[in-house]
Amino acid sequence: MNIFESVTISSYLAVKEIWRSRGRFFLVSLVIALITLLVLFIAALGEGLGNGNREYISRLNAQLIVYQAKSDLLIQASRLSRDRLNAIRRVEGVADAGMLGTANATLAVDGNLQPLKVALLGVEPGHTGEPPVIAGRQFSTANAREVIIDRNTALRSRLSVDDTLTLRVTQGTDDRFYDLRVVGVTSSQQYSLQPSIFTPFNNWDRVRPKSEAEVDVSNPVANVILVRLVDPAQVEAVSRRLVSQVNRIETATLSAAIEALPGYTAQQSTLNTQGGFSLFIGVLVIGGFFQIQILQKVAQIGVLKAIGVGNPLVAAAAVLQIVITTVVGVAIGSLLTFLFSLTFPPTIPIVFNGTTSTIAVAALLLIGPLGGLVSIRYAVRIEPLKALGLAS
Amino acid sequence: MMNVMNGVNEVNLWSAATAVDQGNPVESGVETTYALEAKSVFKTYASDQGPIQAVAGVSLQVGAGEYVALVGPSGSGKTTLLSMLAALLQPTSGQILLDGQDLVKMNDRRRVALRREKIGFTFQANNLIPYLTAVENVELMLRLNGRLDQAGKQRARELLARLGLGERMNSLPSQMSGGQQQRVAIARALIHNPSLVLADEPTASLDTGRAYQVVETFAELIHEQKHAGIMVTHDLRMCEFVDRVLQMQDGKLVRVDTGSVEIRQLISGGRHP
B161: exposed, middle or buried (C-beta count within 10 Å: 0-12, 13-18, 19+)? Answer: middle
Mean pLDDT over the full length of chain B = 82
Which residues in chain B have their CB less than 8 angstroms from residue A306's CB?
A: 86, 88, 115, 121, 123
| Mean of all residue pLDDT scores within chain A | 90
Run of H or E residues at B44? strand B36-45
Q: What is the distance between the alpha carbons of residues B120 and B112, in angstroms, rounded to a whole number? A: 12
Most A-contacting residue of B43, B123, B188 (CB-CB within 10 A), to test interface: B123
Residue A112 confidence (pLDDT): 63
CA–CA separation, A84 vs A90, rounded Å? Answer: 10
Averaged over A272-288, what is the pLDDT?
86
The CATH number corresponding to B2-269 among 2.60.40.1180, 3.40.50.300, 3.40.190.10, 3.40.50.880 equals: 3.40.50.300
Q: Spell out which residues of chain B touch residue A304, defining contact as CB-CB under 8 Å.
A: 129
Domain locations along chain B: 2-269
Average pLDDT over residues B258-267: 70
Nearest CB neighbour to A300, from listed B86, B88, B126: B126
The pLDDT assigned to B209 comes to: 81
Q: Is B45 on the interface with A (CB under 8 A)?
A: yes
Rg (CA), chain B: 18
Spans of all domains in chain A: 3-53+265-387, 70-247
> Is-contact B54 B77, C-beta < 8 A?
yes
The answer to whether the pTM exceeds 0.90 is no
**Would you state the pLDDT for residue A299?**
87
Q: Do A302 and B126 touch (CB under 8 A)?
A: yes
Q: Is pLDDT of B112 > 80? A: yes
Residue B8 has pLDDT above 70, yes or no: no
CA distance B10 to B16: 10
Q: What is the pLDDT of residues B17-49, one digit of tens each?
A: 333 233 333 333 444 578 999 999 999 998 888
Query: Looking at per-residue confidence, does B28 or A189 come out higher?
Result: A189
Closest CA relative to residue A319, chosen from A274, A279, A379 = A379
Beta-sheet pairing, A146-150 with A224-229: unpaired
CA pair distance B100, A311, nearest whole angstrom: 26
Question: Is the pLDDT reported for residue B123 higher than 90?
Answer: no
Q: Do A9 and B123 touch (CB under 8 A)?
A: no
Question: Is it the case that residue A218 has pLDDT exceeding 80?
Answer: no
B148 close contact with A: CB closer than 8 A: no
Q: Is the pLDDT of residue A384 over 70?
A: yes
Q: For residue A305, which residues of chain B lie inside 8 Å, CB to CB?
A: 112
pLDDT digits (tens, 9 = 90+) for A317-373: 999 999 999 999 999 999 999 898 888 877 778 888 788 888 888 888 888 888 888
Report pLDDT digits (tens) over B198-243: 998 888 777 888 788 888 888 998 998 899 999 998 888 888 889 9
